[in-house]
Amino acid sequence: MPETALEITTAAELERFLPGKVVIANTTYTLLTGYEGSGSCHWCGGELKGYLRRYCYGHMKLYYRHFLWTDARKWCIKRQDGLCANCGTRLSYSLEVHHIIPLNGSERIWTAYNLPFNLIGFCHDCHQEVHAAMKPPKLPKPIPDPWEEAMAAGQGLFAFTEEKFHASLAVQQ
């Protein structure tokens, strides 16, 4: 089991990964790399110099691109050059970014689900098709057994009638 989000290599690991939280000076950090809130670079754990408070020079963009939804979304659209991954339509202004492994209730803003390998862009129509295909198929309802329904509804008269019928047959013999 990976200890940090950067060690995740499979869908199963991503689904099982539970980031921790730490509160430092009234700021809550989601622990994705393990360096958050440590006083070192959130991306690499390196020493911060000068005015830098959370990231080494240049690492903020890497960190945001991997975990922050708005930046990860923009990067996915740029990576695909604005083309729908399914039909190839160029829609850089309205490409919809889809989580391949669904969020299933996870927060969207800061999460390992925003890792680049888990994002793909679609036009609106293809995105709707993907979501429709992801829904479980609707199974037909079984045809109810009238006898079972009557008994479940408390209509025991049938059972009484059946017993009387069999009893009258026994008397006649």
The verdict on 77 and 130 lying in the same domain is yes
User: Residue 158 — pLDDT band, cuts 50, 70, 90?
Assistant: low
- What average pLDDT does this structure show over 33-57? 89
The verdict on 114 and 78 lying in the same domain is yes
The verdict on 38 and 69 lying in the same domain is yes
φ and ψ of 63, to 5 deg? -60, -50
Q: How many CA atoms lie within 13 A of 128 on its CB side?
A: 2
pLDDT of residue 22: 84
How far from chain centre, in Å, is Cα 143?
34
Q: In this predicted model, what pLDDT tens digit does every residue of 88-130 receive, in sequence order?
A: 988 766 899 999 999 887 788 889 999 999 999 999 999 999 9
The verdict on 17 and 82 lying in the same domain is yes
22-36, 71-85, 89-103, 136-150: lowest mean pLDDT where? 136-150
Q: Is the pLDDT of residue 157 over 70?
A: no
How far from chain centre, in Å, is Cα 83?
23
The verdict on 104 and 44 lying in the same domain is yes
* Number of folded domains that form the chain: 2
Q: Provide the mean pLDDT of the chain.
A: 85
φ and ψ of 23, to 5 deg? -110, 120
> Residue 67: which of 29, 121, 38, 93 has the closest Cα?
29
Over the range 52-66, which residues count as b (16 or more CB within 10 Å of their CB) and which as e? eebbbeebbebbbbb
The verdict on 124 and 150 lying in the same domain is no
Q: Is the pLDDT of residue 30 over 60?
A: yes
pLDDT of residue 171: 64
Percent over 90 (pLDDT), the chain: 42
The verdict on 53 and 83 lying in the same domain is yes
The verdict on 110 and 157 lying in the same domain is no
The verdict on 24 and 91 lying in the same domain is yes
3-state helix, strand, coil in the chain (%, to 5): 40, 15, 45
pLDDT of residue 159: 57
The verdict on 153 and 72 lying in the same domain is no
> Kind of pairing, strands 96-99 and 27-31?
unpaired
What does pTM read for this prediction? 0.72
> Residue 17: which of 2, 33, 29 has the closest Cα?
2
Domain boundaries, position 83: 5-134
The verdict on 90 and 165 lying in the same domain is no
pLDDT of residue 134: 86
The verdict on 63 and 145 lying in the same domain is no
